[in-house]
Amino acid sequence: MLTATNLSKTFGGQVLFEDCNLQLLPGCRYGIVGANGAGKSTLLRILSGEESSSTGEVVVPRKARLGVLGQDHFRYEETRIIDVVMQGAEEAWAAIKAHDRMVEAADAGEDFDPLEYARVEETLARTNAYALEARAAEVLEGLNIPTARHRQPLKVLSGGYKLRVLLGQVLAGDPDVLLLDEPTNHLDILSVAWLERFLVDYRGCAVVVSHDHRFLDTVCTHILDVDYQRVIQYKGNYTAFDKSKIEERQRREQEIERRKEEIEDHKEFINRFKAKATKARQANSRAKQMARIIIDELPESSRRYPLFRFLPARPSGREVLSVKGVWKSYGSQIVLADVTFDVRRGERVAIIGPNGIGKSTLLKVLMGKVSPDSGGSSWGYEARPGYFAQDHKEVLLKGEDTLKGWLWAQVPGEGVGFVHSKLAEVLFSNEEVDKKIHNLSGGEAARLVFATLGVQQPNVLVLDEPTNHLDLEGIDALARGLEAFEGTILFVSHDRWFVSRLATRVIDLTEDGISDHEGTYDEYLARQAKDRLDKEAVIAAAREARRDQRAEPKAKAEGKAEPKAPAASPSGIVLPPPRNQKPAKATKVDESPAEDEWPADYDWSQGWQGWQTKGAKPGAPAQGGGPVPKAEGKVDGKADPKADPKADPKAKKRK
C-alpha cells in the first residue's frame, strides 16, 4: 500500500533518521513511537507528502486515498459542523453539491443536462453518498459532539472540539491510508475508546503517532520505533515492542561484553608468552585473532527518563479535603451541580468524565482560582496542596525568568549546585538552565513544573492533565514518581493507562451527578459494565412485559391459556421467556436425569425405569419420570424375592 525506500532526514548537522525502508500494508495499524524531538511527526509528514526527505522516496499507489489529520480549522469557521465532516469524502461531497446545483437550476427553469445528471447520480450511488450524512453524524456522536450541534457553524465550538471535527472529517472520508498525528489529544476517555473501536475495525492502512500506552496496545499491530537514528519495525502492540526492545538491547550488550572478555583473554596470553620462543607462534596467532574481533559500540538512545521525586515536608491530617454542595455555571451553562465529597490522607483520586463537564473547573475551585456560585471546599489540618495546571502559564507566572532563576526563587536558601541538580533530574542540561521560560516547549514546561513541585514539597498534589506534552518515557517516570509519593493525589487525566496505574478511587462527573467509586479504575470499569448490562436487561424485560400485556386480551378472547409468570434471573431481574417459545416436553421415564437430581438411596439395579422424586410412594407414577428410590422388601410395588423368600416359588423347591 505504501512503500518508503532509503529515507533519511537531517536538520543542519542533526540526523533524525537514515536508511529507513518500510512497506506498510492494508489491514495493519502502525504506531510511531520515540522520544520528543526524535522525528516521529517528521516521519509522518514525509509519508503524507507534506514534507520532503533528505534522501529516498515514498511511493503511494495512484488511486489510493490518503486521510491526513489537519490542524487548520480556521477555514471552516462559518461552515456547518456536519458539512465539515462530510467534506472528508471529497468525491461524494462534490457529487452532492453538483446534484443540488442541478436541481436548483431545473427548478429555476434553466437548462437541464440529463446526461450530466445521470453521471452525477451514478457517482452518488457508487460512493454511497446518500448515507454520507448519517455516517458523518455517527462519527460526530462517537467523538462526543451532540446532535443538537451538528447543524451549527464550527465557530460555536472550543478549540479542542474543533480539532475533533477535523478528526471526524478524516474518519468519515473512509480513506485507504490513515495518517494521524496525536489523534487522542483533546479527546476524553469515552471518545478515545470509540476511536479505538473505529480503528480496530478499519480495513485500510493506519499510521498513528501517540503517547497513550493503552491506545497503542489496543490499536496497533506493528510499532515503528524512531531511535538510534533509525526507524525499526516491530511486530505486535506497544507492550510486546517494549519487551522485545529491552531483550534485544540486553542481548547486544552481552555480546559486546563477551567479545571484550575474549580480547582481554588474548591480550593476557600474548603479554605472558610473547617473549618465549616456544610460544611465539601461538602469541602471533592470538594477535591475529584479536585483530579480527570487531566491536560495534551501541549507539546512544534518544530515549531519556526524567526523575520525578515528590517528598512531602510533613504529613497532613487524616481528613485532607471536604467539598460541600459546589455549584458553578458560566452563563446559562451549569458545569458543576451540587458536587460533594471528602478526601482522606493517602488516597489517589482520579476525577474523570467527558470534556466540558467541569473537571478542570472543579480543581480550580479547590485551589481558589475560581469562585463557586454556591457551596465551597476546605482543606484539612496541615494540608499543603501543590498545583499542576493544564495551562502552564497559570503556574509559571514569570515568562522572562530563566529556568535557574525561577527554580532558585522557590528555594532561596539552597545553593546553585542544588538548583542545577534538580534541573538535571528533569533532563535540563547545563546549557539549558539559562533558557527563558517563555521559550520552553510544552514538554519542557511540564518538566519544570514538576521540578518546582519537587522542591516545594507539598503533601497534596492537585494535577490537571499531568501527562499532556510528556512522551511515553516521561509518562512512565511520572507514574513511578507518583506511586512513591506518600501524600494525597487528586488528578484529572484522559490517559487510561495512567489512571489505571495510579487511582485508588474514581470520581466520575456525569450529567446526572457524580459517581464515587472506592477502588481501582479497572474495578470501576467492571462495575460500570455490570450496571450497563443490568440496565439493558431491565429495559428488555419491560419491553417484553408490555408485549405480553398487549397480547393477553387477545389470548383470552381466543380461549388460550395465560402465559406463565416470567422467571427471575440470578441477579434478581425478572426476565420474560423467549418469544415464540414452545412448551417443554414432559420428561420420559427412560431419560437420564441430571446427576444432582439422583436420590441418595436410589437402587441402581433398577436402571432408569420408574424414576421418581425421593419420598414418593413406591411404584407410584413419577411426575416427570425418574429413578425409583429403593423401598424395603418391594421393587416397583411388588414383593422383592431377595428380601422375601416366600414370594419366590423356586425358593420352596430349594428348601
The interaxial angle of helices 189-201 and 159-172, nearest 10 deg, is 10
Higher pLDDT, 300 or 154: 154
Residue 612 has pLDDT above 50, yes or no: no
Grid cell for residue 95: 457529487
Higher pLDDT, 647 or 559: 559
Cα angle at 52 between 46 and 53, to 5 degrees?
Answer: 80
pLDDT in tens, 229-264: 899 999 999 999 999 988 888 888 888 888 888 888
For β-strands 505-510 and 348-352, DSSP reports them as parallel
The region of weakest confidence among 96-110, 263-277, 343-357, 444-458 is 263-277
Residue 571 has pLDDT above 50, yes or no: no
The region of weakest confidence among 183-192, 361-370, 459-468 is 183-192
pLDDT of residue 580: 44
Domains 2-242 and 319-519 share a fold: yes
pLDDT of residue 296: 76
Higher pLDDT, 577 or 289: 289
Mean pLDDT of 457-474: 94
Composition of the chain by helix, strand, coil, percent to 5? 40, 20, 40
Residue 560 has pLDDT above 60, yes or no: no
pLDDT in tens, 359-383: 999 999 999 999 999 999 999 999 9
pLDDT of residue 392: 84
Higher pLDDT, 269 or 619: 269
pLDDT in tens, 198-221: 999 999 999 999 999 999 999 999
pLDDT of residue 552: 64
Helix (H) or strand (E) holding 33: strand 29-33
State percent of the chain over pLDDT 90: 49
Residue 570 pLDDT level (bands cut at 50, 70, 90): very low
Residue 613 has pLDDT above 50, yes or no: no
Sheet holding 513-518, edge to edge: 385-388, 460-464, 488-492, 348-352, 505-510, 513-518
Cα–Cα distance measured from residue 339 to residue 364, given in angstroms and rounded to the nearest whole number: 14
Higher pLDDT, 487 or 392: 487
Domain map of the chain by residue range? 2-242, 243-292, 319-519, 586-655
The region of weakest confidence among 7-21, 127-141, 474-488, 628-642 is 628-642
Higher pLDDT, 75 or 57: 57
Residue 462 has pLDDT above 90, yes or no: yes
Mean pLDDT of 305-328: 95
Residue 141 has pLDDT above 50, yes or no: yes
Mean pLDDT of 632-643: 49
pLDDT in tens, 525-549: 888 875 555 555 655 666 676 667 7
pLDDT of residue 540: 65
State percent of the chain over pLDDT 70: 80
Domain 319-519 has CATH 3.40.50.620: no
pLDDT in tens, 577-598: 444 444 444 444 444 444 444 4
pLDDT of residue 592: 46
Residue 127: count of CB within 10 angstroms of its CB:
19
| Averaged pLDDT score across all residues of the chain | 82
Residue 52 pLDDT level (bands cut at 50, 70, 90): very high
Contact 79, 151 (CB under 8 A): no
Residue 328 has pLDDT above 60, yes or no: yes
Going from the C-alpha of 269 to that of each of 7, 282, 293, 627, the distances in angstroms are: 46, 9, 16, 89
Residues near 322 by Cβ (< 8 Å), separated by ≥ 6?
Answer: 342, 343, 377, 378, 380
What pTM does this model have? 0.72
Which CATH architecture describes the domain 2-242? 3-Layer(aba) Sandwich (3.40)
Question: Cell 507539598 identifies what position?
Answer: 458
Cα–Cα distance measured from residue 15 to residue 24, given in angstroms and rounded to the nearest whole number: 23
Residue 288 has pLDDT above 80, yes or no: yes
Residue 333 has pLDDT above 90, yes or no: no
**Which of 148, 165, 14 minimizes the C-alpha distance to 75?**
165
Residue 38 has pLDDT above 60, yes or no: yes
Grid cell for residue 637: 410395588
Residue 23 has pLDDT above 90, yes or no: yes
pLDDT of residue 74: 77
Show contacts of 264-273: CB within 8 Å, 24+ apart. 266/290
